[in-house]
């Protein structure tokens, strides 16, 4: 349940407890191994309370995906693509660095491939929908371009995380921008 700000304090605390417990469990194990019972025990609620707010764990995960992608989209809403791709990439890395371990796991782990793809698709749709250059591309060209950008940026982020974030974030952003902008600028020539 996405909170709107006018809920009773008990509801807010319950939802926050559910989300916090879910976040912790994501950090500890693969999604398929998380159970509603385990989540409820961790959140200190009963299963009936969980099911009052969420039909399944999948709904909770989908809500988490929506919240994460919406927050990022809010940060990049004023940028134009492909012209501001360097700024969008920078925001991705800054936003990602601000998130916790659960976000890293969702972004980097094979287990969360489907939910990550939903997040990427949502961001791409919103981010590129206003681009006149992008709209002129064929479906094949759009898929090729998005595949290149998404793979390059996500792989750079994953590698940075896997390497223990040893490189300074600014270095990673700069390298990724050189790689992605070189390819995208060449693509649109």
Is residue 104 located within the same domain as residue 160?
yes
Q: How far apart are CA 63 and CA 25, in angstroms?
A: 16
pLDDT in tens, 142-165: 999 999 999 999 999 999 999 999
What CATH number should be reported for the domain holding residue 41?
1.10.10.60
Decide: pTM greater than 0.85.
yes
Domain that holds residue 41: 9-54
pLDDT in tens, 26-81: 999 989 999 999 999 999 999 999 999 999 999 999 898 888 889 999 999 999 99
Over 70: is that where the pLDDT of 141 sits? yes
Looking at the domain assignment, is residue 3 inside a domain? no
Looking at the domain assignment, is residue 42 inside a domain? yes
Query: How many domains would you assign to the chain?
Result: 2
Q: How far apart are CA 171 and CA 156, in angstroms?
A: 11
HSE value, Cβ hemisphere, 13 Å, CA-based, for 103? 18
Looking at the domain assignment, is residue 2 inside a domain? no
């Amino acid at each position: 349940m996405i909170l709107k700000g006018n809920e009773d304090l008990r509801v807010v605390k319950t939802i926050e407890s559910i989300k916090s417990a879910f976040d912790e469990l994501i950090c500890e194990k693969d999604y398929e191994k998380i159970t509603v019972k385990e989540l409820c025990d961790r959140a200190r609620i009963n299963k009936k309370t969980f099911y009052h707010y969420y039909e399944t764990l999948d709904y909770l995960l989908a809500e988490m995906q929506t919240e994460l992608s919406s927050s990022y989209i809010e940060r990049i809403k004023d940028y134009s693509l492909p012209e501001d791709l360097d700024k969008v990439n920078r925001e991705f890395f800054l936003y990602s660095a601000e998130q916790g371990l659960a976000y890293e796991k969702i972004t980097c782990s094979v287990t969360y491939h489907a939910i990550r793809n939903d997040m990427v698709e949502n961001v791409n749709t919103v981010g590129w929908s206003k681009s006149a250059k992008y709209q002129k591309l064929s479906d094949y060209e759009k898929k090729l371009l998005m595949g290149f950008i998404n793979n390059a940026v996500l792989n750079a982020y994953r590698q940075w995380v896997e390497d223990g974030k040893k490189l300074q974030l600014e270095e990673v952003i700069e390298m990724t921008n050189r790689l992605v902008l070189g390819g995208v600028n060449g693509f649109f020539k």
